[in-house]
Structure 1
């Protein structure tokens, strides 16, 4: 296949692109190399991908008018996986315009490009943050997402809504997936695991929100990539042409559109994650308790029924395996 991956120098985009290339697919990777976090890390990821002759890197911003349309006309991808976005829950309090530019206008440019250049399947990255103030657990895809707590979450919900409208109007097979706290080698420096590792190795204290009682549905990156690859092979059918896979299916009645959680359904307390990190590093952390920041939630927990029905499995790598793998990469990459 020919696959276009937006955000290919990002954490998940890098791993997905590398997996696709290993399977023999041709990958065009678009990335804007924003300075939200270490650009050198993003360049290093792209350099790894460039070892493959079937990888074609493209540098550019999603929201640049016409860029995506021209790229798709030239590449003619079979599948598009849209991972590029302005990420970060807390950063949306500091720089909200970045979210409007990348997540709203950038996604709009992509939908217009796909409208003009139809594909076999459009896959879109959303977020568990879309569940916002929901208190019913586990988070189910059919739950109403009407109480976002940050502009980041709101921008992703808006992207989902735009995607459904384009899917309905132009019969674009579209799957949107909501990620749950992805971690692993080559991870994002703004995420807790990365921050904690750096500080513990430097002998600095770490800030622990809610006394470590907050829970996250941690998802190891290779499990996530496997789920995306399998979902790519299950494009939603046109309305009226197939039955839902179960009462929990989010298959739209008016569009070839579906929304799917990607998570393991096994929340882990933050203090348990830190315990596993200390064991992997061979060092103890000085923990400073802090209240939960604005926009953060106390617990995330993915319902996995739909993912299980669609691909036959759910993410299963435990933190006792995933965290040592991250630490080994971190030590090798930074010489720590």
Structure 2
């Protein structure tokens, strides 16, 4: 099983990474992290992959992703927790990473209500350890995952990186906003070039089993009801994993520079006088939840048994990405339609769970 599911644009980004030091990819056994690591390795780059293989969801899925990576020349896997201060410091001292793609984190909006301390350990303490590692070895560029969740209670759409994101509605979102602020502080204090990526509902083969598209597919194929929150009145900007990965990799060799025209009297939250930028990575389409369900029904050939429920704490009614800043920076924007991505996922899911 290869990581790539579609034909992707030429790997111009690979030519812009001449440094022979390995790229650190945290969360390397996670959904996006495994795909990023696989593409780096396919381009002839060395990768140190870090993951703690926790049991937030079935570790067998993470082990399955690692099975594509472990045989690859140039891949060095380290099982380590981001909160391991001494371990992270030693890893940076060993490899002196020029480029870091930080995708490891405790994910999940609803789980952050049940287990808040896991988010403080991984997303705050763990992120601080990564920042300190980068500072110590003078990393050229830190690319890190933020989230569309930072837009919180915002109702004005599409969401733009120039919008205020000061009203989170979950602890998970608050930790991701904190990551952006922490990275900015290190950019200002130490000149650490860093780029935050606000991912919008990533989906696709090898995805996360806590996400709606997976839960719906699994329940429909097993003849169980699906839980449809807010009585189906939900919209999401679903972004196919290959588009996410292409965006990430095009940004890795492009560390942000200070904006000489930054107006401190009228500050733009998406830019800075320091070498720090934030980008949305989404499909620029807000899809109805009921349309997602219809596509899964069509792909499975079965009708869903729907259980309509109220909005859950921490959820938002709609997400919708403006990616004009991303497109201007790397000449690429996600474009895989849901009508193509969902059948690919369902085909993969059936293949993995056959028999």
1:41 pairs, out of 61, 72, 87, with 61
CA-to-partner distance for each residue in 1:64-122, whole Å, 9 max, x for gaps?
11211211121222210010000000001100000000000000111111110112210
- What value does the CA root-mean-square deviation take over the aligned residues? 1.7
Superposed counterparts of 1:64-213, under 5 Å: 64-213=84-233
1:314 pairs, out of 333, 343, 348, with 333
Does the C-alpha gap of structure 1 residues 241 and 149 become closer, same or farther in structure 2, counting only changes over 3 Å? closer
Question: Paired residue for 1:334?
Answer: 353
- Offset, 1:308: 1.1
Compute the TM-score of the two structures, normalised by the length of structure 2.
0.91
CA-to-partner distance for each residue in 1:300-325, whole Å, 9 max, x for gaps?
00111101111112100011110111
For the pair 1:293 / 2:312, whether they are aligned, the reply is yes
- Offset, 1:136: 1.0
Question: Paired residue for 1:260?
Answer: 279
Contact 2:48 2:78 survives alignment (8 Å): yes
Question: Paired residue for 1:221?
Answer: 241
2-structure distance, mates of 1:331, 1:17: 25
Contact 1:132 1:153 survives alignment (8 Å): yes
Contact 1:262 1:307 survives alignment (8 Å): yes
1:53 pairs, out of 48, 73, 77, with 73
1-structure distance, mates of 2:67, 2:303: 34
2-structure distance, mates of 1:48, 1:121: 26
Contact 2:163 2:269 survives alignment (8 Å): no
For the pair 1:9 / 2:18, whether they are aligned, the reply is no
2-structure distance, mates of 1:162, 1:304: 23
1-structure distance, mates of 2:122, 2:140: 24
Contact 1:184 1:220 survives alignment (8 Å): yes
- 1:66 is paired with a residue of what secondary structure? helix
Aligned length: 332
2-structure distance, mates of 1:8, 1:144: 31
Contact 1:87 1:152 survives alignment (8 Å): yes
Compute the TM-score of the two structures, normalised by the length of structure 1.
0.96
